[in-house]
Amino acid sequence: MGSKSSSGIILILFILLVIVTGIVSNIVSKFPRQSDVIEAQGDVTGTTQGFDIINNTRNHSFFLRDTYGERVSPTPSFIIPPNGGITHFELPTRAFTTTRVAALYDVYNDFGIIVGYLQFTLESFSGITAEILGPETTAPIKTRKDNTKRYPTLFLTDPM
């Protein structure tokens, strides 16, 4: 009787193993393989190009409304505060490809009132060239680009 019950337990365990393996295999097959994701993105070099945005205004804060284009990582700061606030973008680069992301910020004054917007585009060709395109703004600020720094930088200042 002991061998029949142990054979029955082994049979039940084997059937459970087959069922669990089938379920796990089905779940795993629904997710793309990492190589499929990389091929879909097209020649990812695994590198990024950095950009800095520096807010040197005295009383304007910039609130990120949205980004369009490439997914940037890490996600830039939602708020760029006045008096030296900074945010950093890392744009992915691809071999022989131009990558870009556009960012749109609402501009607020000290009283929490929207006084305009700021929009710019960050662009890189294969990580070899990088520049900030635009910017466009309706806010009472000045913008200045500096592409000679380690990271191309957009400075936001009060009008003089």
The pLDDT tens digits for 3-12 are 667 777 877 8
**Is residue 94 scored above 80 in pLDDT?**
yes
Q: How far is residue 31's CA from residue 135's CA, in Å, rounded to a whole number? A: 39
Q: What percent of the chain has pLDDT over 70?
A: 79
**Is residue 43 scored above 50 in pLDDT?**
no
Q: How far is residue 62's CA from residue 132's CA, in Å, rounded to a whole number? A: 17
Which pLDDT tens digit goes with each residue over 16-41?
766 766 665 655 455 454 444 444 44
Residue that wins the pLDDT comparison between 76 and 136: 136
> In the prediction, which pLDDT does 38 show?
40
